[in-house]
Amino acid sequence: MSTQRYQLPDEPRPGALTQAAVDPMWPMFAFILVGAWMGYLWFALNAFALGSPTKQRELGLIGVALAGSALAFFGLAGAYESGWLDPGSLKYALLGVIAIKLACAYGLHVMQSRVFELFTYFGGQAKNGAVVLVLGFVMLKAPVAKMLSGGVLGVLLQ
């Protein structure tokens, strides 16, 4: 009896975007060491690169981080203007803005870690994000900080 072998297709090479996938720890480091702006951008890119099923929620969380920290900042500025907060208390209260950004960044990290685990479990190859992080730290941190300094954007994105 002659048996015709059933042919299985080869796996296609991953697309350019998939090849940019990294461990979400790298965007988290970028958030802490370079600035929130780089962390948000990298988390957003990584959501697409990982093909994250929670990408809408992840992008929404970046929106919440921006809107929440803006709201907290303007609220505190209003409280200071109205005399409810003195300069000594204001610096403690401003930690709340950082806490909002940090909580959202950790939330993004948790969501992407779950997807990343599955991505690597099924053979996905992640890039090492160290080079991008070092480049961001050495080449972009200072100029972006200078560009954003003094404004509301600086509070939201740094």
Partner 1 sequence: MTAARVTYLVEQAQQQMGRGQVDMAIATLTEALGLDPNVARAHALLAVCLRDRNRLTAAALEAGAALAGAPQDPFSHYAAGAVHEARREWRQAEQHYQTAIELAPEADWTRRGLGRLYLVWGRLRDAKPWLDAACEADPEDAANLATLAHWHLESGDAARAEAIAREALRIDPHESEALVVLGYAVLRQGRVDEALEHAAWAVQNDPSDRATLSLLVAVKMRKNPLTGLWFRFATFIGSGSSTRMVLLLVGMYLAVRVASMALGDFGQPGAANAVNFIWLGFCVYTWFAPMLFQRALRKELEQVRLRPDY
How far apart are CB 115 and partner 1 at their closest, in Å? Answer: 6
How far apart are CB 14 and partner 1 at their closest, in Å? Answer: 10
Task: Give the amino acid at 19.
Answer: Q
- Confirm if 155 and 68 have CB atoms less than 8 A apart: no
Give the residue among 51, 9, 31 at the shortest CA–CA distance from 156: 31
Residue 135, interface with partner 1 (CB under 8 A)?
Answer: no
How far apart are CB 128 and partner 1 at their closest, in Å? Answer: 10
- Dihedral sign for Cα 84, 88, 91, 93, please: negative
Cα distances from 134 to residues 29, 38, 71, 144, 152, in angstroms, run 10, 12, 32, 15, 26
Segment near partner 1 (CB under 8 A); pick from 40-48, 72-80, 97-105, 132-140:
97-105
Site pattern 27..66 for partner 1 (x: CB under 8 A): --x--x-----------------xxxx-------------
- Dihedral sign for Cα 27, 29, 30, 35, please: positive
Q: Which residues bind partner 1 (CB under 8 A)?
A: 1, 3-6, 8-12, 23, 25, 29, 32, 50-53, 88, 91-92, 95, 98-99, 102-103, 106-107, 110-111, 114-115, 118-119, 121-123
